[in-house]
């Protein structure tokens, strides 16, 4: 596919990612919301609780936003943000209250749903079980479907960065080194697999052969 270097192409790609994640992790039960790319200070994304955040002649929708200044992270991190907001959407649709304290504190209901849908979750004293990262199922899904990095980013706040994944994260004033995307290596004989965040030469000692990048 062409490189993701234009706003319009990225907007379409996020909608495609939503449909793919919906089919893989939610059995296609979520109707597509309006996916926006806007500035979200101190956050990677958000989900709107109102089902008429966007209105049109053919119906109303919720909104999922991905922070415009956070697009150029490794694709597994962007996918984890989108999936995080989809978990909020799924919980809302099923009557599960997953946040309290003005919708800022992620409770154990959110943790359980996130871990059941491809994410790993860690705790924050201020925001609860809010810090999510791609789990093995999501990483495998990204590799198997060949999802690629987004190569455009809104230049915001002189290098403003956020930590964690999801809608309630803290800020950093310096720009950290951007990590490489995850690669999966498999043994062509027995199928054993490992992941690496950079190109490596690695062998399967069980079969005494070099492992190759999963295609």
What does the pLDDT look like over 151-177, one tens digit per residue? 999 988 554 443 334 443 333 333 333
- pLDDT for the residue numbered 190: 86
3-state secondary structure 43-82: CCEEECCCCCCEEECCEEECEEEEEHHHCCCCHHHHHHHH
∠ Cα 148 154 155 (to 5°): 125
For residues 165 and 131, the answer to whether their CB atoms sit within 8 Å is: yes
- pLDDT for the residue numbered 202: 86
The list of the chain residues with pLDDT below 50 reads 159-180
- pLDDT for the residue numbered 171: 31
- pLDDT for the residue numbered 1: 66
- pLDDT for the residue numbered 170: 31
- pLDDT for the residue numbered 207: 86
- pLDDT for the residue numbered 187: 83
Within the chain, strands assigned E span 34-38, 45-47, 54-56, 59-61, 63-67, 99-100, 105-106, 119-124, 128-134, 161-162, 171-172, 183-186, 193-196, 203-204, 209-210, 212-213
pTM of the model: 0.77
- pLDDT for the residue numbered 168: 36
DSSP 117: T
């Amino acid at each position: 596919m062409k490189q993701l270097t234009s706003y319009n192409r990225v907007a379409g790609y996020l909608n495609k990612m939503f449909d793919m994640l919906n089919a893989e992790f939610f059995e296609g039960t979520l109707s597509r919301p309006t996916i926006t790319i806007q500035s979200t200070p101190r956050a990677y994304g958000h989900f709107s609780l109102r089902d008429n955040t966007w209105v049109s002649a053919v119906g109303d929708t919720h909104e999922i936003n991905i922070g415009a200044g956070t697009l150029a992270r490794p694709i597994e991190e962007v996918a984890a943000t989108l999936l995080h907001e989809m978990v909020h959407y799924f919980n809302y649709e099923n009557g599960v209250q997953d946040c309290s304290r003005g919708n800022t504190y992620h409770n154990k209901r959110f943790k359980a749903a996130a871990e059941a849908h491809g994410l790993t979750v860690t705790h924050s004293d201020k925001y609860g079980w809010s810090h999510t990262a791609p789990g093995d199922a999501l990483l495998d899904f990204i590799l198997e479907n060949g999802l690629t990095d987004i190569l455009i980013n809104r230049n915001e706040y002189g290098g403003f960065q956020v930590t964690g994944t999801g809608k309630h994260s803290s800020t950093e004033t310096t720009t950290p080194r951007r990590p490489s995307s995850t690669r999966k290596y498999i043994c062509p004989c027995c199928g054993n697999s490992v992941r690496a965040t950079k190109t490596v030469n690695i062998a399967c000692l069980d079969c005494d052969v070099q492992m190759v990048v999963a295609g």
